[in-house]
Chain A
């Protein structure tokens, strides 16, 4: 009998505080699987954001630090400059990265900082209770937009991958989703490439992961996956936006 699937030792053997069906658990695991497979677990420092995943340091089996809201890319830049031979990543949500930390992510990319960012886009603020994010879709309800997001008031949702792909230093940019087994497998491949780009010293890499927030979306975990597919993917198309020749 052979083992087809086992929980990675990159994840600590604890139960997360995430809500049932929250895809943070899948995204965490994919990052840690990649680090284990690359033999990098012991040489990695992760930066957690403000948001539900601030507690990712309780779950990921690597050295980690917290960061103030949105500042993870600045913190990671500092770590990477101090430890040029280590692997560094940030794990950030859409409130953290696309709103309050928009400046930090753009300039980390612009400097071509040698770290990897896992960007969780679930189109809402989770930890604070379902407020509108820059990524919230038109018509999508939130606690700061109970009638749904309106373009005239809040503008159109921000496409971070497309934005960052215009920056020379962001050499790897890909958008993936966690809604189906096939997409989860593709997500892992993209994360693997993003870390390879860092290892090869080619520049900054980001993987945008379309994710769910069943609690704040007011849907079951299974229905959330359908909602993601029907609403998020049409506006946030999946695929690679930038990839260096070396890792194609």
Chain B
């Protein structure tokens, strides 16, 4: 049954994962996502699931790999430096084709950085911090409700592609309270149903079939190349099937902002502010950061003067924006970093200066 509630972001995210069918959770305390392991430790046993507080994020991601290779749905969460530690396991799971859903409640970096919201994990999330030719679909919600929906929907996406999927939120979303409609609990599959759906999952051969192996080692280069090409075929399908974005007012806009997550909410208010000053501005809000929704940029009106990547990072998304714009418009940057969040007025003021310089 669907349920409407006022919830703190992090707790709603955890509940969405449980309702989506993730009854295994492995985590490690790190701010600003601590409400997630806390919630899981209270709630999972009620669903016959298992919560493990791992000794590190490195262990957590490898536990997730172990849990998920049995065919069971696994949820992982952490925050920026913790996600950095998980890169070994993310690369490994991409190679071994093991689906998990992980949530990054990102904060300011580099290094230990701070604990205030940030988007400087953009590059880590979309370009991969691990080794090898691999990709992870990355979804970037802008509200508690959208986070809940994306987490819930990410579970079958990870299963379909047999690949990890990341939800990149930030400390602001994790800590805010908003009304949410929680989706209904997915039906629990029996062990037999699970194995029928996922014939690759390890469960013991039962003396009924050949033994199976889940691996990421391919010592022969021709074998590894063939494996990587098989993975690349999946990534090509993802590039076609996954891009998702929201577009606002791009038909007659002088300025088109590009912003995701928390930053897109601030930009929305900046657009209203600019309107009172007689400047029309629009917004492209990527919901998938990888694959980057390049098609959105074809909707920009030729009369647009400038595209502005607006980030809580120093031009990390701007690289993808420039690539998508492909020289059709000037691309500029508005950012704050280190956990600083700009006000809508600040964004509007900077945008106006950029526009005047271009005019």
Q: Which residues of A come within 8 Å of B, CB atoms?
A: 12, 41-45, 47, 54, 57-58, 60-68, 71, 74-83, 86-87, 103-104, 106-107, 110-111
Q: A54: which B residues are within 8 A, CB to CB? A: 217
Given the known interface contacts A65-B202, A82-B70, the answer about A74 and B213 at a Cβ–Cβ threshold of 8 Å is no
CB of A71 within 8 A of CB of B58, answer yes
**Bound-state Cα–Cα, A75 to B67, Å:** 7
Q: Report, nearest first, the 3 A-B pairs whose CB atoms are least far apart.
A: A78-B66, A74-B62, A78-B63
**Bound-state Cα–Cα, A66 to B95, Å:** 11
CB of B214 within 8 A of CB of A65, answer yes
Q: 13 extra interchain contacts, Cβ-Cβ under 8 A, other than A42-B205, A54-B217, A77-B59?
A: A43-B204, A47-B66, A57-B213, A57-B215, A64-B214, A65-B96, A65-B214, A68-B62, A79-B66, A79-B202, A81-B67, A104-B59, A107-B55
**Chain B interface category by residue count:** 35 or more
Offer 19 A-B interface pairs, CB within 8 angstroms, sorted by A. Answer: A12-B211, A42-B204, A44-B204, A57-B213, A61-B205, A63-B205, A63-B211, A64-B211, A65-B69, A66-B214, A74-B54, A75-B69, A78-B64, A78-B65, A78-B68, A79-B66, A81-B63, A82-B50, A82-B66
**Bound-state Cα–Cα, A104 to B89, Å:** 14
Q: B326: which A residues are within 8 A, CB to CB? A: none
Find residues 196-240 in chain B having any chain A CB closer than 8 Å to their own CB: 202-208, 211-217
Q: A107: which B residues are within 8 A, CB to CB? A: 54-55, 59
Pick from A41, A42, A62, A104: contact of B62, CB below 8 A. A104
**Bound-state Cα–Cα, A107 to B60, Å:** 12
A40 to chain B, nearest CB (A): 9
Q: A57: which B residues are within 8 A, CB to CB? A: 211, 213, 215
CB of A75 within 8 A of CB of B66, answer yes
**Bound-state Cα–Cα, A74 to B59, Å:** 5
CB of A71 within 8 A of CB of B204, answer no
Given the known interface contacts A64-B213, A71-B58, A107-B55, the answer about A81 and B204 at a Cβ–Cβ threshold of 8 Å is no
Q: Is B162 an interface residue (CB 8 A)?
A: no
B96 to chain A, nearest CB (A): 7
Q: A65: which B residues are within 8 A, CB to CB? A: 66, 69, 96, 202, 213-215
Q: B213: which A residues are within 8 A, CB to CB? A: 57-58, 63-66
A33 to chain B, nearest CB (A): 16
| Chain B residue at minimum C-beta to C-beta distance from A9 | B207
Q: A82: which B residues are within 8 A, CB to CB? A: 24, 50, 66-68, 70, 72, 74
**Bound-state Cα–Cα, A41 to B56, Å:** 32
CB of B204 within 8 A of CB of A66, answer no
Given the known interface contacts A54-B217, A63-B205, A63-B211, the answer about A81 and B62 at a Cβ–Cβ threshold of 8 Å is no
| Chain B residue at minimum C-beta to C-beta distance from A63 | B202
B97 to chain A, nearest CB (A): 12
Q: Is B52 an interface residue (CB 8 A)?
A: yes
Pick from B56, B62, B74, B212: contact of A75, CB below 8 A. B62
Most chain A CB within a 10 A radius of its CB, from B24, B54, B59: B59
Pick from B24, B55, B67, B203: contact of A104, CB below 8 A. B55
Q: B56: which A residues are within 8 A, CB to CB? A: 103
Q: Is B320 an interface residue (CB 8 A)?
A: no
B3 to chain A, nearest CB (A): 27
Q: B74: which A residues are within 8 A, CB to CB? A: 78, 82
B208 to chain A, nearest CB (A): 7
**Bound-state Cα–Cα, A144 to B64, Å:** 34
**Bound-state Cα–Cα, A80 to B72, Å:** 12
Q: A60: which B residues are within 8 A, CB to CB? A: 211
